[in-house]
Amino acid sequence: MSEARLVQGNEACALGAVAAGCRFYGGYPITPSSEIAEQMVRLLPGVGGVFVQMEDEIASLAAVIGASLAGSKAMTATSGPGFSLMQEHIGYAAMTEVPCVVVDVMRGGPSTGLPTSPSQGDVMQARWGTHGDHPAIVLAPSSVGEVFDLTVRAFNLAERFRTPVIVIYDEVIGHTRESVVLPAAVQVEERIRPDGDPTDFWPKLAGAADVPPLPAFGDGYRFHVTGLTHDERGFPTTESDLAETLIKRIHRKIEIRTEEIIEAETFMMEGADVAIFAYGIVGRSAREAVVQARAAGVKVGLIRPITLWPFPSVRVAEVAKQVDTVIVAEMNLGQLIGEVERAVAGDAEVVGHLRADGEPITPVELLTLVTAREGALN
């Protein structure tokens, strides 16, 4: 029977990865994610896994992609500057449809920025950091227990959809220690592997779910892996119809099944006049502000996206129809406020509460803001 234990956020990430079946970690230490690497180097040998410290973040994700193609569940972890360096390979993994997990523990930026301070400045980079039209699945935990759960979920989604999945949280979540009860066992998904004649194998021939089976190198199936636009045989092509077919399919495999991916939490939305939109550590501050506001008779609720991408537009739109104002609280200068405005579509006023000074947004700040908004509405 599982017992409560004191766990750090970054430690929970490593524990979740191993529980999900991760057996390869390629990484490079960088504050504030380094504890993930430190934990993985301890945990992986005990389950027959491999840890490799690479020479930089570019090589780290390259190694992860190679390990995944060889049949292992694989991951890396980094922070903003390293995440920037990984973007080319994130695009490569999306194009070649290689399942892998990238964890980004956000810190202040741009550039070296504030290495030991929290931020939410990588949110748009997680969606659009690599060039071209590409799909993105990005999960944002707000507690130590949720770091564990969403790391497991990231591996399952990566395997199900044959795509890189990003877990993104800030320095505070990464370094917070909480008493949590971690599950003794988790549900684990595996990638679809081919079972037909190897001599008749087309590596990018997808079925109804638009996800082709993926053999491991050495399984006896010959296949070509390239970041160039390719046909169903996996070989490069410049034919426009084949190029468009490929790009549309790697988007469609996610777009037609977003109900399996998108998650968002609402809290105390009954009768609310004001809603706070917040995620990560700010989502926790917002939850406390809502509790205190409700105790004072202020009608406010919370919507917290757990899946940042695909963006939970439908859930945000539903909330907007209930309230007069949506307050978007982010530790950046407004990276998701535009997406919220798009989803709200004029049904409510959208107000930003933005902070990019390396300090977290506090419950007191939000309580003061929502109390003022409620007073203005009345």
Domains located in the chain, CATH noted = 4-181 (3.40.50.970), 265-377 (3.40.50.920)
Nearest to 112 by CA among 76, 75, 84, 140: 84
Contact 269, 277 (CB under 8 A): no
What confidence score (pLDDT) does residue 378 get? 57
CA atoms within 13 A on the CB side of 73: 28
Task: Round to whole Å and give the CA distance between 323 and 186.
Answer: 38
What confidence score (pLDDT) does residue 83 get? 98
- Residue 89 CA, distance from chain mean position: 16
Nearest to 176 by CA among 105, 120, 125: 105
What confidence score (pLDDT) does residue 374 get? 67
Contact 160, 190 (CB under 8 A): no
Task: Round to whole Å and give the CA distance between 277 and 302.
Answer: 6
Task: Round to whole Å and give the CA distance between 3 and 169.
Answer: 25
Q: What is the mean pLDDT of each run of 10 residues along the chain (378 residues)?
A: 87 98 97 98 98 97 98 98 98 98 97 96 97 96 98 98 98 97 94 92 91 95 94 95 96 96 98 97 97 96 98 98 97 98 98 96 95 69
State the amino acid at position 26 in one-letter form: G
Task: Round to whole Å and give the CA distance between 311 and 313.
Answer: 6
What confidence score (pLDDT) does residue 3 get? 80
Nearest to 189 by CA among 357, 20, 370: 20
Contact 144, 180 (CB under 8 A): yes
Non-local CB neighbours of 338 within 8 Å, separated by 6+ positions = none
